[in-house]
Structure 1
Amino acid sequence: MLQIDTWKRVLIWLVCIGGLVLALPNAFYTRVEQSNDARAAIELRGETPELTATAAQWPDFMPSSLVNLGLDLRGGAHLLAEVKVSDVYAARMDAMWPEIRNSLRDARDTVGTIRKQPSKPDEIRVKISQPEGMSRALELVRGLARPIQTLTGAGSNDIEVRGEGDEVIVTLSEAERLATDDRTVRQALEIVRRRIDEVGTREPTIQRQGADRILIQVPGIGSASELKEIIGTTAQLTFNPVISRGTDANARVGVGEKLAPSLDQEGVFYTIEAAPVVTGEELVDAQPAFDQNGRPAVNFRFNTSGARKFGDYTRDNVGAPFAITLDGEVISAPVIQSHIPGGSGIITGNFTVEESTNLAVLLRAGALPAGLEFLEERTIGPELGQDSIDAGKVATVVAFVAVLGFMWASYGLFGIFANIALIVNVGLLFGLLSVIGATLTLPGIAGIVLTVGMAVDANVLIFERIREELKTAKGPARAIELGYEKALSAILDANITTFITAVILFAMGSGPVRGFAITLGLGILTSVFTAIFVTRLLVVTWFERRRPKTIEV
């Protein structure tokens, strides 16, 4: 006999009602989105009459989670950037030179005087005056090598040291280059994500592609050039000792030195030491501020290590100029007036308020470890996104109407039950997408259309099985019961294999493929639930009230 326990009936209806309530905000998308943005602004800046009125557009007690619209639906910017990993090698060599110099100086009686020689960016050449001390020099420099802390580089050191005549040559090992490349791209990925999050954009897609590329898609942003301004600045902050100042752009510099132009004084150039005392990587905070004259500036603060190095240098070099450089340009070169032990300071220059705020954002998010070369950039306007939404709506409605009509024509009253379950199914799908904060893309809409077509498959199997059971002269109640029981295994087999495919697409794919996999996978779950439980509950409820002697499916 057909029978469903009361608690099961209550639970099924609660799940359906809960899913439809969670999906409801998407029917009032613009109003709910504006309300959510206003509430977020109130938390940051406090209440204003305009924000309060906008926030009141949607009741507090109602769910407010929305299905986020992807780049192809909302419009926005798309960038494909290549990380210039080779830039890091030169910076790594510059940072290693002070260690090598100090190590060889301690053995001056054996190796003689030392002098850094011109070399490629990814190597260091050091000439010693006593070639007979080469073995000792190689031993000292090799002692600076560190083991590589990665699985692929296990057992290898980060540098390779060899001697040629009277020169010690230091290069990065191949294992260290691979580890450095991977580390650089990962760091660039994280910093790009932080910079975009600082701006407050909604649901960006930031993914690694291949060995050294990053895919960046930000819905709702004005243009690709605007996005490049946010993430394209390297913002490498360094603090370097000043050797001299002049106006010659072609002034000769010694080994271990470099020429840096002044950012706010045209025609002025500083000769500074290439190896910085402190870098922006040791910053823990940067905030826009004003100097003692009321001009925009940026306050900064170092971590413990940076504060110690900064404090030691200012203690030992009172009265000497100290260059603060940003991406190779000197933005300020103050004279050290006294010991600065706290590890904090202020960057001044000819900034506007907006420029000081942007600089603080870049410094706080961190410096990109290497430059980015933008290989591909596209701007998708909101009109194109709206066209995609409209096309998706048409496709969904056409598929929906066709399926509803087919089921009603083929199965009569039972087809109407399947149609009701199909409507509930779509509501549950949007409710789940809202709860998990999924991003809906054009392929995602294709997944929903496919779900609509697949959703009735299980009901078709059940109804056809009921037809077969009715032909064996069993009563209608027994035919319905056997129809659901015998069709269950086929339903589960078909949907489990499709769900596995969706999981593989999600795990292996990226961007639009994942959007399709999410809607397909969730659609399978809601389809199975509505087919096995919702339609059965509808059929059982109808049968208990009508008690028909015969039924037509």
Structure 2
Amino acid sequence: MNNNRTAILNHTPMWKAILVFLVVAFFALYASPNLYGEDPAVQISAERTAPIDAALLDRVQEILKERNIVAKSVALEDQKILVRLADNDTQLKAQEALDIALSDDYIAAINLAPATPDWLKSLGASPMKLGLDLRGGVYFLMEVDMDTALNSKLEDTVSDFRTALREEKIRYRRVVKEGNVVEIQFRDEETKDQAKFFLRNNRGDWQYVDKDDLTLVAQMSEQTLAETKDYAIKQNITIMRNRVNQLGVAEPVIQRQGPDRIVVQLPGIQDTARAKQILNATATIELRMVDQDNDLSSALSGRVPAGSQLIEDENGTPVLLKKRVMLTGNHIVDANSGVDEYGRPQVSIGLDSEGGSKMTRGTRDNVGKPMATVFIEYEPTRERTKEGKLKFEKKERVISVATIQAVLGSSFRITGLDSPGEARNLALLLRAGALIAPIQIVEERTVGPSLGQQNISQGTDAIVLGFVLVLAFMLIYYKGFGVVANVALAANLVLIIGVMSLIPGATLTLPGMAGIVLTVGMAVDANVLIFERIREELRDGRSPQQSIHHGYDSAFSTILDANITTLIAALILFAVGTGPIKGFSVTLMVGIITSMFTAIILTRAIVNSVWGGKRLTKLSI
């Protein structure tokens, strides 16, 4: 009677066994795309609104035929044209040919296209994404110059304060930036108090204190300071993404690291110099009025008016401009190069709503007067700050002086450019966006595709070797129960790959492969505890069925405690770690969860199916 009751305890209901099987089958299905490998490919996408259609598909096929490049397939997929090729050398030749032959409206990016069958794609199945250390490419760790970001914020605020006070008809003597604050000077104390009341109600994100009877000092609140720094990082990341599109990288990784650093990984890119040139560019523009109220000759002799500045044009001719900035490039949302009605190069610019309002206010009273476009870029110097950061030199030049013909709004044109090439480059940089602050590359690495393939081969060999050795040990030491453990171990590996393939944005790196190797070894720990406990129960004289039952129940709490503590450590690694450490922690966490499922639930279902409900005299363990 007691044996019958124990046999019932070692019985797994049919619905539970089917559920366990379905879970394993589900993740096996989504792990299967990794078996099909990837094809070297060139991905063609539209930069803006250029059409991706059958005509372009025919054009791509013609270009490849003219260059004697044989493609495995050329297809239109998801508003992109994907050219699959036989090897990496052919891929590079095809990318170069298509990049030269197609117009600037299209981007030809090298890529690795999964060779997943269509029926799997229809289910949303795709292989794991490979990290830079496995695929090859360029890695940059960049640091944002926060001092310049804060300085730009102060300069913008000076302009905003002047405009707001003028519109409120509050007269002031001057508004200037002094260090990290803005000073506003008035003619009398009553006007100063009126301005303080107005600014506190309309610009409450700043703090206002009296310097003296006639001077008001505005300084950033702690919240505004933190928001400015956070905005500088986020905006620079957005602009980096736009610029990476110009490089033709299909699957870049651009993410924040710490308070002032950005990680950029460009798989497939080997030209580090070109990548640095595009990513480091800090070009933007400012629109200022030409100073016609003061004498240029007097300014050249050293008597530059307080509210003006001398800036040379591209020919080295000095131009006297007002210091007040009418508009900065931060408000530009679109820029396209072209020619005007006389065939001269120009750049058509579109602004956001705030920029359009500023442009309207700035040009309303200046119709018929000349306005200059100032091109600004920051170049790193050899000097460093006390903190060891590079110092940047601000370089300005006038690229265009044009007369304002009418009140301008959210769109206008920059004319007077020297060549169509200059117009295209300016449009590209403005369209991609101006960095809020210069960036310094503090670390860079180039991983060749052959090294990436070597990492994959060595990592795979390590996983296979570890897997085979563990299988052999379990089979020899635990016999029939060892076979069950090996089935669970194989299922665990499938589950890890399936989960990693399903997680959006998850990337397998070399440390991630190390995490899988570690998980392969750890996955059998739970089974070792269970099997040893079953052996102990058998030695104490319990029946085989009672030993199986008590072995699983008694070992469960120990297994749970051990895995939870490891999971906590992995979570901490993920929270505070960066790059490779995160990759290791992700696979470790996934492996811990899947090994708990396979070692406890799956093996118990198999053991109960094979040995449960039977009158046994001994166990193969």
TM (norm. structure 2) is 0.74
- Could you give the per-residue CA deviations for residues 106-132 of structure 1, whole angstroms, max 9, x where no partner exists? 676xx8xx4678x7564566777x7xx
Out of 99, 116, 140, which is 1:79 matched to? 140
Work out whether 1:172 is the aligned partner of 2:223: no
Check whether the contact 2:12–2:609 (CA below 8 A) recurs between aligned residues: no
SS at match of 1:51: strand
Give the whole-Å Cα distance in 1 for the aligned partners of 2:605 and 2:199.
71
Give the whole-Å Cα distance in 2 for the aligned partners of 1:509 and 1:56.
30
Check whether the contact 1:318–1:336 (CA below 8 A) recurs between aligned residues: yes
| 2:601 alignment partner in structure 1 | 533
Give the whole-Å Cα distance in 2 for the aligned partners of 1:397 and 1:46.
45
Aligned partner letter, 2:486:
N
SS at match of 2:430: helix
Structure 1 493/357 Cα, relative in aligned 2: closer, same or farther at 3 Å?
Answer: farther
Give the whole-Å Cα distance in 2 for the aligned partners of 1:532 and 1:284.
56
Give the whole-Å Cα distance in 1 for the aligned partners of 2:150 and 2:201.
17
Structure 1 283/158 Cα, relative in aligned 2: closer, same or farther at 3 Å?
Answer: farther
Give the whole-Å Cα distance in 2 for the aligned partners of 1:273 and 1:490.
76
| 1:469 alignment partner in structure 2 | 537
Give the whole-Å Cα distance in 2 for the aligned partners of 1:310 and 1:376.
40
Out of 575, 583, 587, which is 1:507 matched to? 575
Give the deviation of 1:500 after TM superposition.
1.8
Give the deviation of 1:531 after TM superposition.
0.9
| 1:448 alignment partner in structure 2 | 516
Aligned partner letter, 2:307:
G
Equivalent runs, 1:276-315 vs 2, <5 Å: 276-289=325-338, 291-292=340-341, 297-315=346-364
Give the whole-Å Cα distance in 1 for the aligned partners of 2:301 and 2:614.
98
- Mark the runs of 5 or more structure 2 residues left unpaired by the alignment: 1-6, 62-72, 76-82, 85-112, 377-395
Structure 1 178/307 Cα, relative in aligned 2: closer, same or farther at 3 Å?
Answer: closer
Point out the more displaced range, 379-388 or 98-107. Answer: 98-107
Work out whether 1:495 is the aligned partner of 2:563: yes
Give the deviation of 1:489 after TM superposition.
1.8
Out of 116, 122, 140, which is 1:58 matched to? 116
Aligned partner letter, 1:21:
L
| 2:439 alignment partner in structure 1 | 372
Give the whole-Å Cα distance in 2 for the aligned partners of 1:380 and 1:475.
59
Aligned partner letter, 2:463:
T
Give the deviation of 1:98 after TM superposition.
4.8
| 1:426 alignment partner in structure 2 | 493
Give the deviation of 1:424 after TM superposition.
1.4
Check whether the contact 1:160–1:173 (CA below 8 A) recurs between aligned residues: no
Work out whether 1:227 is the aligned partner of 2:250: no
Structure 1 87/418 Cα, relative in aligned 2: closer, same or farther at 3 Å?
Answer: same
Check whether the contact 1:145–1:158 (CA below 8 A) recurs between aligned residues: no
Aligned length: 529
| 2:388 alignment partner in structure 1 | none
Equivalent runs, 1:331-370 vs 2, <5 Å: 331-341=399-409, 343-348=410-415, 349-350=417-418, 352=420, 359-370=426-437
Give the deviation of 1:146 after TM superposition.
4.4
Give the deviation of 1:289 after TM superposition.
4.8
Aligned partner letter, 2:483:
I
Give the whole-Å Cα distance in 1 for the aligned partners of 2:496 and 2:46.
26
Give the deviation of 1:161 after TM superposition.
4.6
Give the whole-Å Cα distance in 2 for the aligned partners of 1:537 and 1:331.
76
Aligned partner letter, 1:71:
L
Check whether the contact 2:493–2:520 (CA below 8 A) recurs between aligned residues: yes
Give the deviation of 1:90 after TM superposition.
3.9
Point out the more displaced range, 504-513 or 331-340. Answer: 331-340
Give the whole-Å Cα distance in 2 for the aligned partners of 1:441 and 1:487.
34
- Could you give the per-residue CA deviations for residues 203-262 of structure 1, whole angstroms, max 9, x where no partner exists? 4142232x4333333333224433323322223232221226989999764323333343
Out of 212, 216, 224, which is 2:260 matched to? 212
Structure 1 259/394 Cα, relative in aligned 2: closer, same or farther at 3 Å?
Answer: farther
Check whether the contact 2:291–2:322 (CA below 8 A) recurs between aligned residues: yes
Aligned partner letter, 2:334:
D
Aligned partner letter, 1:5:
P
Give the whole-Å Cα distance in 2 for the aligned partners of 1:477 and 1:148.
79
Give the whole-Å Cα distance in 2 for the aligned partners of 1:230 and 1:347.
22
Give the whole-Å Cα distance in 2 for the aligned partners of 1:77 and 1:91.
30
Give the whole-Å Cα distance in 1 for the aligned partners of 2:496 and 2:343.
56
Out of 408, 411, 417, which is 2:475 matched to? 408
Structure 1 100/466 Cα, relative in aligned 2: closer, same or farther at 3 Å?
Answer: closer
| 2:305 alignment partner in structure 1 | 254
Structure 1 482/124 Cα, relative in aligned 2: closer, same or farther at 3 Å?
Answer: closer
Check whether the contact 2:37–2:114 (CA below 8 A) recurs between aligned residues: no
TM (norm. structure 1) is 0.83
Give the deviation of 1:26 after TM superposition.
1.8
Check whether the contact 1:282–1:305 (CA below 8 A) recurs between aligned residues: yes
Give the whole-Å Cα distance in 2 for the aligned partners of 1:157 and 1:430.
52
Give the deviation of 1:486 after TM superposition.
2.1
SS at match of 1:503: helix
SS at match of 1:416: helix
Check whether the contact 1:116–1:255 (CA below 8 A) recurs between aligned residues: no
Give the whole-Å Cα distance in 1 for the aligned partners of 2:306 and 2:175.
6
Aligned partner letter, 1:524:
I
Structure 1 107/319 Cα, relative in aligned 2: closer, same or farther at 3 Å?
Answer: closer
Give the deviation of 1:451 after TM superposition.
0.3
Structure 1 546/148 Cα, relative in aligned 2: closer, same or farther at 3 Å?
Answer: farther
Give the deviation of 1:405 after TM superposition.
1.4
Out of 286, 296, 309, which is 1:238 matched to? 286
Give the whole-Å Cα distance in 1 for the aligned partners of 2:132 and 2:115.
26
Give the whole-Å Cα distance in 1 for the aligned partners of 2:332 and 2:45.
32
Give the whole-Å Cα distance in 2 for the aligned partners of 1:291 and 1:73.
49
Structure 1 419/344 Cα, relative in aligned 2: closer, same or farther at 3 Å?
Answer: same
Aligned partner letter, 2:479:
G
SS at match of 2:36: helix
Q: What's the C-alpha RMSD, in Å, of the aligned pairs?
A: 3.7
